[in-house]
């Protein structure tokens, strides 16, 4: 694609209910949306950065500034016909900002798919015998006030069709809450816990109590930079450890696996700064026989479509954070994604149209936009 202009927006989507995790609460999902324009081509991307820098150092306003003043000018200055694989050289001198970089790459991949009439699923898994038509539906549930509240929420989600339930936990809000969740799901539903780095190694005895509930894994129990203690924790508990925030590249992912810091991998393309690298990590995990799944970031429609496409990769062996639009928002900038199927075995359709396979609702996009700028050559 020959990029001639880049349209940047911040949109604001009120959440159906506040989403609470150890790293903070999100009540309104603001997000950066990017649109690349060039001749008859266009491509859409979404930056996964959250409103505040509590999950990672990136946040909405900072990502917008990084895109507007640093990344987009470099993209335009590169000139010529650009593909997603050209971005590593175009951004070689920019340290960090992986989520902002990934949003541009996604827009280029969308443009490539639109131009060549290829779905994003095929771009991310070119050697797959054929793209999946559906992916299993998985949902994350934030911290709630009481175990009884959590049990009611879990029961409602299972009834909607979700076959994997992920529960946010934190010190003092763990054992009784997971027990209530397991009682609500029964043994047939996959259950896992996500700590978002809220514990320390001295909490190993508490975390070992979770072994009794048949969890698929505990996600990110310790701090993101603490691979050694994750490896030690893995020796002290029976439940598998999955890493999320710790994994920032293919190299770090390999180090985590080699050290025993984790045995399950959460793949979040925005955290790696590249959807193509995320797909390569799924390839690598598949080759090693390592379970992996696709994580979400309270995504709006563009990011949700991309995550669903990535979750269709054959290396995504476990159900990911692939939830219906209505789980978080009453409206979005594209048609909503829905869960279909019986209790505990619901699925979400994979977009099969060119690129992201979605159509942007221009009227809703305009209504939800709170800031916009266009950068041109």
Reported as a single tens digit per residue, the pLDDT across 213-251 is 999 999 999 999 999 999 999 999 999 999 999 999 999
How would you class 286 by CB atoms within 10 Å of its CB: exposed for 0-12, middle for 13-18, buried for 19 or more?
middle
- In the block, which residue shows the tokens 């193509």? 276
Angle at 239 between CA 317 and CA 219, to 5 degrees: 65
CB of 313 closer than 8 Å to CB of 124? yes
Task: Give pairs for 123-127: CB < 8 Å, separation 24+.
Answer: 124/275, 124/276, 124/278, 124/279, 124/309, 124/310, 124/313, 125/279, 125/282, 125/312, 125/313, 125/314, 125/315
Q: Set out the domains of the chain in order of their start, with CATH numbers.
A: 5-117+357-376 (3.30.390.10), 123-349 (3.20.20.120)
CB of 140 closer than 8 Å to CB of 323? yes
**What are the residue numbers of the active site?**
168, 268
Question: Which structure tokens are listed for 99?
Answer: 């989520």
Q: Helix axis angle, 301-311 relative to 275-288, nearest 10°?
A: 30
**Does the pLDDT of residue 377 top 90, yes or no?**
no
> Residue range 181-202: average pLDDT?
95
Q: Determine what percent of the chain is predicted with pLDDT higher than 70.
A: 99
pLDDT tens for 313-325 read: 999 999 999 999 9
pLDDT tens for 253-311 read: 999 999 999 999 999 999 999 999 999 999 999 999 999 999 999 999 999 999 999 99
């Amino acid at each position: 694609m020959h990029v001639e202009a880049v349209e940047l927006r911040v949109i604001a989507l009120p959440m159906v209910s506040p989403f609470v995790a150890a790293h903070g609460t999100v009540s309104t999902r603001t997000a950066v949306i990017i649109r690349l324009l060039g001749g008859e081509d266009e491509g859409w991307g979404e930056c996964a950065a959250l409103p505040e820098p509590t999950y990672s150092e990136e946040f909405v306003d900072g990502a917008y500034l990084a895109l507007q003043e640093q990344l987009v000018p470099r993209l335009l200055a590169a000139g010529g016909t650009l593909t997603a694989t050209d971005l590593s050289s175009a951004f070689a001198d920019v340290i960090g900002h992986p989520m902002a970089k990934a949003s541009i790459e996604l827009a280029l991949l969308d443009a490539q798919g639109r131009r060549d009439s290829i779905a994003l699923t095929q771009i991310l898994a070119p050697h797959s015998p054929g793209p999946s038509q559906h992916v299993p539906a998985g949902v994350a549930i934030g911290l709630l006030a009481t175990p009884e509240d959590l049990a009611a929420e879990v029961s409602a989600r299972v009834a909607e069709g979700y076959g994997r339930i992920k529960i946010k936990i934190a010190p003092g809000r763990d054992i009784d809450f997971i027990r209530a969740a397991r009682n609500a799901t029964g043994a047939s539903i996959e259950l896992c816990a996500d700590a978002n780095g809220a514990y320390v190694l001295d909490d190993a005895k508490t975390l070992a109590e979770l072994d009794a509930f048949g969890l698929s894994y505990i996600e990110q129990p310790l701090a993101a930079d603490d691979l050694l203690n994750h490896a030690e924790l893995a020796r002290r508990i029976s439940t598998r450890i999955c890493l999320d925030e710790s994994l920032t590249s293919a190299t770090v992912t390999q180090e985590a696996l080699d050290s025993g810091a984790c045995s399950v991998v959460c793949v979040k393309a925005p955290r790696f700064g590249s959807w193509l690298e995320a797909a390569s990590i799924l390839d690598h995990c598949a080759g090693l026989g390592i379970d992996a799944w696709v994580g979400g970031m309270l995504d709006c429609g563009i990011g949700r479509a991309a995550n669903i496409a990535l979750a269709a990769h054959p290396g995504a062996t476990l159900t990911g954070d692939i939830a219906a639009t209505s789980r978080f928002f009453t409206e979005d900038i594209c048609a909503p994604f829905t869960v279909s199927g019986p209790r505990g075995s619901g699925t979400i359709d994979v977009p099969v149209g060119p690129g992201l396979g979605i159509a942007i609702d221009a009227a809703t996009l305009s209504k939800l936009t709170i800031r916009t700028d266009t950068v041109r050559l």
